[in-house]
Amino acid sequence: MIQPTGTSRSTRLPRAFAALCLALCLAVGALQSATAASTIDRIAVTEVKPLLMQAAAQGEAHGILGGPGAGYVRRKFDATAPIEIDVGRLHTLPQAGCGRLEVTTRQRNVLENGTRHDEVLTYQLSFCSDGRFPEQAK
């Protein structure tokens, strides 16, 4: 192999290695930024009601269930993963501050009937930002 004058193989390899490292660092940094941007901020709750109120008012809410209820579910399904709750407003209702909401709860790696799987439960209800159901709201 013929090399340009004044350049040895030992100086070219470190430059190539440095360029490769720089490219990898930039790629990893971009991936971390993209991942961080798609991460949902979740608030800790012991019941779903605060999430329902927030979603009725703002359109969506995201939480992690804690407390005795979460402890019971974790023991029942032999799972250690957090219980995630996502609430979205499907549409507003005629009554001010009220909306039709969709609630999705998720827990990964639950044990049920001898097999592990991710559990998802989705349901809908009407709720108002003041913490009441529409027929009870002021």
| Residues 109-123 pLDDT 10s | 999 999 999 999 999
pTM over 0.85: no
Q: Which of 57, 35, 55 is nearest to 45 (CA)?
A: 55
Q: What total of structural domains would you count in the chain? A: 2
Kindly state whether residues 14 and 66 are assigned to the same domain.
Answer: no
CB atoms within 10 A of CB 101: 25
Residue 45 CB: number of other CB atoms within 10 A? 21
Mean residue pLDDT of the chain comes to 81
User: Does a structural domain hold residue 2?
Assistant: no
List, for residues 66-79, the tens digit of each pLDDT value. 999 899 989 989 99
Give per-residue pLDDT as tens, 89-110: 999 999 999 999 999 999 999 9
Residue type, 37: A
131 and 90 within one domain: yes
Q: Is residue 85 part of a domain?
A: yes
Q: Establish if 15 belongs to a structural domain.
A: yes
User: Do 66 and 108 belong together in one domain?
Assistant: yes
* 101 shares its domain with 129: yes
* Domain of residue 71, residue span: 43-136
